[in-house]
């Protein structure tokens, strides 16, 4: 029987999510600032290299989820991915060509695809389905706390030593995440439960499906949710990099520090939001909470163009804490709701993350082109309109998925097969 979340494994999971936070997201918006302020790239080239990296992550998402479903070496995969992301990032100061920068960031993004399904699987395999909602909210809270602390350190160090310091900070966080991963005993993870095959308290759910792709393609609510994630990421992914570019243009020397302020402000909001979602998702339901995330995203995009003042931009960025905090906590819950008992929780996560990654990749390229042609305000308003469309479609089409109301996956089960 996997240990309960009240037992000592709570602290290793907390530490894992805290230290892996900076590593799993890669360089993120810091890459845009570095390329703009240090390498003097234009906005379109920055958007393109970020889109190339995102495309590599997209290609890796579904295979990563399938691998996590089948492997019992989840801890080793997280450690290997953390090392790859770190190496690909710390070599960036010695690279200056478009091809080399794009290649290293593509490698980092592909390795980073391991983290989200691995953490979700390890968590589910330790705490089980009944405690998953609350534990996922706690995971996200510690993830955002880790991002906030890393961003504060990055801002302080960048002010003293320059933008390149963020690469070494990531290396330190990766090392700490490796120790946190190793503190989780391999035997504590029930790999049968970790892939969504139920538990001993839920008789009749120990069956398998012939294909995770079949679950995805035949479950209408899962397809609707995938579409909502695409629109969410299409509207969201480019906003923070655009804010970072505007701040860097105002003051190149303080661009990284101001970006850190934006990230810290949002992450500090995400911590209580994610914890609250974990506590309330079972009682309120998934649908109304996710609708709030889309609505806040649309509002955020509409507010950015009102002023270029750094204080205003940071203030609006606080709304990212609400939207992203909700999305991060709800995403694995909705997928778990709709794939419970199929044995393909993680590959379904990967497939939907692929769709979300596509939205994010298109977002940065789309926004970069609009900035070049029509300016930053036009880009923000276009992204806000996309979020508003997503909100309307989600409210009209998406059913509630919490246990007791979620539609069963459409794909018919076949004869039981042992968990891998």
Return d(Cα 6, Cα 251) in angstroms, integer: 48
Q: Give the tokens for residue 28.
A: 């993120």
Does the pTM exceed 0.85? no
Q: What is the mean pLDDT of the segment spanning 215-232? A: 84
**Contact in structure between 137 and 279 (CB atoms under 8 Å):** yes
Question: Could you tell me the pLDDT band of residue 388, with boundaries at 50, 70 and 90?
Answer: very high
Q: What is the set of domains in the chain, with CATH numbers?
A: 10-184+210-397 (1.20.1250.20)
Percent of the chain with pLDDT over 90: 18
Does residue 361 contact residue 58 with C-beta atoms inside 8 Å?
yes
User: Looking at the predicted structure, is the pLDDT value of residue 53 above 60?
Assistant: yes
pLDDT for 243-260, tens place per residue?
877 777 766 666 666 776
Distance between CA 232 and CA 8 in Å, rounded? 36
Q: How many CB atoms lie within 10 A of CB 373?
A: 10
| Integer angstrom CA distances of residue 96 from 25, 103, 167 | 22, 12, 15
**C-alpha to C-alpha distance for 214 and 1, rounded to whole angstroms:** 30
Q: Please provide the average confidence, as pLDDT, over all residues in the chain.
A: 80
Residue predicted with more confidence, 38 or 223: 223
């Amino acid at each position: 029987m996997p240990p309960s979340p009240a037992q000592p494994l709570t602290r290793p999971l907390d530490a894992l999510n805290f230290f892996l936070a900076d590593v799993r997201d890669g360089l993120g918006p810091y890459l845009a600032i570095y390329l703009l302020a240090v390498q003097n790239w234009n906005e379109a080239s920055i958007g393109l290299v970020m889109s190339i990296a995102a495309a590599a992550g997209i290609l890796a998402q579904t295979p990563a989820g399938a691998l996590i479903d089948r492997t019992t070496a989840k801890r080793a995969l997280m450690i290997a991915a953390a090392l790859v992301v770190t190496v690909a990032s710390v070599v960036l100061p010695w690279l200056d060509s478009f091809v080399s920068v794009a290649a290293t960031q593509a490698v980092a993004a592909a390795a980073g695809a391991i983290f989200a399904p691995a953490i979700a699987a390890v968590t589910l395999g330790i705490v089980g389905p009944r405690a998953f909602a609350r534990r996922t909210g706690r995971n996200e809270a510690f993830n955002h706390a880790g991002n906030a602390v890393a961003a504060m350190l990055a801002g302080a160090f960048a002010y003293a030593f320059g933008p390149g310091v963020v690469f070494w900070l990531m290396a330190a966080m990766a090392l700490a995440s490796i120790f946190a991963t190793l503190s989780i005993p391999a035997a504590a993870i029930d790999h049968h439960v970790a892939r969504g095959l139920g538990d001993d308290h839920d008789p009749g759910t120990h069956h398998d499906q012939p294909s995770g792709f079949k679950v995805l393609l035949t479950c209408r609510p899962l397809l609707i949710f995938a579409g909502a994630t695409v629109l969410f990421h299409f509207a969201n992914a480019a906003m923070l990099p655009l804010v970072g570019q505007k701040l860097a243009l105002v003051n190149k020397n303080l661009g990284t520090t101001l970006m850190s302020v934006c990230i810290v402000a949002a992450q500090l909001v995400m911590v209580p939001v994610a914890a609250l979602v974990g506590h309330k998702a079972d009682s309120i339901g998934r649908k109304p909470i996710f609708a709030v995330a889309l609505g806040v995203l649309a509002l955020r995009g509409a507010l950015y163009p009102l002023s270029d003042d750094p204080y205003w931009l940071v203030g609006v960025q606080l709304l990212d804490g609400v939207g992203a905090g909700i999305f991060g906590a709800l995403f694995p819950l909705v997928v778990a709701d709709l794939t419970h008992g199929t044995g393909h929780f993680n590959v379904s996560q990967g497939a939907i993350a692929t769709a979300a990654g596509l939205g994010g990749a298109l977002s940065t390229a789309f926004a970069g082109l609009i900035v070049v042609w029509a300016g930053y305000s036009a880009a923000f308003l276009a992204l806000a309109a996309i979020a508003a469309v997503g909100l309307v479609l989600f409210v009209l089409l998406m059913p509630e998925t919490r246990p007791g109301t979620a539609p069963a996956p459409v794909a018919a089960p076949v004869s039981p097969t042992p968990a891998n």
